[in-house]
Amino acid sequence: MSRRVVLASGGVLAIAAVAITLVLRPGEAPVAASAVSPAGEVVARLGDQQVDANDLNALFEQLPQASRQQLRGDRAALETWLRARLAEKALYQQAEAKGWSQRPEVQAQTRAAVEQIVLRSYLNSMTQVPEDYPSEQDLTQAYEASKATLQVPAVYRVSQIFLSVPDAQATQSVRDQAQALSKRAHAAGADFAELARTYSQDPGSAAQGGDIGPQPLAQLLPEVRGVVTRLKVGEVSEPLQSSLGFHVIKLTESQPARIATLDEVRGQLREALRAQRQEQAAKQYVDDVLNLSTLSIDGAALNKALEAQR
């Protein structure tokens, strides 16, 4: 059992087999990041399929810088992606063994995909944004225009004493034990951290005196959230029951919601402005291509083609 036992389930990253969607949650308890392997070194295997550091590097190159840093620090998300990538390779091998890529509909889709890849690559190369964009003034103006939406959620630092419930018959006895520990934690001069180290059954947080680190409310278990928001710093809760067991919670620090500073969002803001500028340049480039010669659309032929689709 990890020190995240008081945290809501669900990783920072949800990774599909083909596309990767990142959901960034500030305050996620960090996992020690491992160094990326040297290029070409195999990092995972499934039968005769393997994923090497080149595959991993290709993944990172698709992501914004801020997302790369979070992914590097979340081993569970990386392992989820590795499993998905290995499954893709195994499925592709099966399909190739059956000559699937030679099917007419697959070849038609392949040609269309290649056309789109070439088009996007060419268009990107023709609409590159200058390296010095955005300027500091551009960043400041964009920040001032949007800072009302750049909310950093309230953060709560809590410690816990966690007791698991092995079966339904043990519920009452565990509840009584949690009540006794809560009473001890409420006593004058009580050392909550020592109680957590001695009695908590969540090894990760117990080793830290029960501390699970600063977390936004959404990262805590639903049963814990309401209790935490009612506690004052330094207060200890009565035992509360979750689907995992019983928790005795101490609020050690809280930070109210606030507007992110420019320095905190500078990287993301720069990427957004550059993407916006390139999108505008791409649209203008396409418009210019269309204006090179007269565009004509044969309405009758178009209607006939549409009719044939019914």
Same domain? For 71 and 160 the reply is no
Structural domain includes residue 48: yes
**What confidence score (pLDDT) does residue 153 get?**
93
Structural domain includes residue 167: yes
What tokens appear for 60 in the block? 């990172």
**What confidence score (pLDDT) does residue 7 get?**
64
Same domain? For 9 and 87 the reply is yes
The identity of residue 210, as a single letter, is G
Same domain? For 159 and 254 the reply is yes
- Helix locations, the chain, DSSP H: 53-61, 65-72, 75-97, 104-126, 136-146, 171-186, 192-199, 203-206, 222-230, 262-290, 299-308
Q: Which residue has the tokens 């790369």?
A: 68
Expressed as residue numbers, the domain containing 26 is 1-97
Is residue 219 within 8 A of residue 30, CB to CB? The reply is: no
Structural domain includes residue 248: yes
Which of 66, 97, 128 represents a domain boundary (last residue)?
97
Of 223, 237, 239, 242, give the one whose Cα is nearest residue 177: 239
Structural domain includes residue 264: no
**52 DSSP β-pair partners:** 42
Say how far residue 255 (Cα) sits from the centre of its chain. 22
Structural domain includes residue 78: yes
Which of 34, 63, 97 represents a domain boundary (last residue)?
97
Tally of structural domains, the chain: 2
The identity of residue 20, as a single letter, is I
Residues 6+ apart with CB under 8 A from 186: 236
125-138 CB burial, b ≥16 within 10 A, e <16: eebebeeeebeeee
Give the C-alpha separation, 154 to 152, whole Å.
Answer: 7
- Sheet of 211-216: strand order equals 211-216, 155-164, 245-255, 240-241
Same domain? For 80 and 157 the reply is no
Same domain? For 92 and 162 the reply is no
DSSP state of 7: B
Structural domain includes residue 128: no
Residues 6+ apart with CB under 8 A from 252: 157, 158, 159, 211, 233, 234
Of 70, 56, 62, give the one whose Cα is nearest residue 11: 70
| pLDDT in 10s for each residue of the chain, 310 residues | 444 466 665 433 333 222 333 333 333 332 222 333 445 788 888 888 888 888 888 878 887 777 777 777 788 888 888 888 889 989 999 999 999 999 999 999 999 999 999 999 999 999 999 999 999 999 999 999 998 999 999 999 999 999 999 999 999 999 999 999 999 999 999 999 999 999 999 988 999 999 999 999 999 999 999 999 999 999 999 999 998 899 999 999 999 999 999 999 999 999 999 999 999 999 999 999 888 877 788 888 888 888 888 7
Structural domain includes residue 71: yes
DSSP state of 25: -
Structural domain includes residue 290: no
The identity of residue 139, as a single letter, is L
Q: How, if at all, do strands 245-255 and 155-164 pair?
A: antiparallel
The identity of residue 236, as a single letter, is V
Same domain? For 156 and 250 the reply is yes
Same domain? For 160 and 250 the reply is yes
For the chain, the straight-line distance linking the first and the last C-alpha, in angstroms and rounded, comes to 58
Find the helix or strand (DSSP H, E) in which 253 lies: strand 245-255
Is the sign of the CA dihedral 84, 219, 250, 169 positive or negative? negative
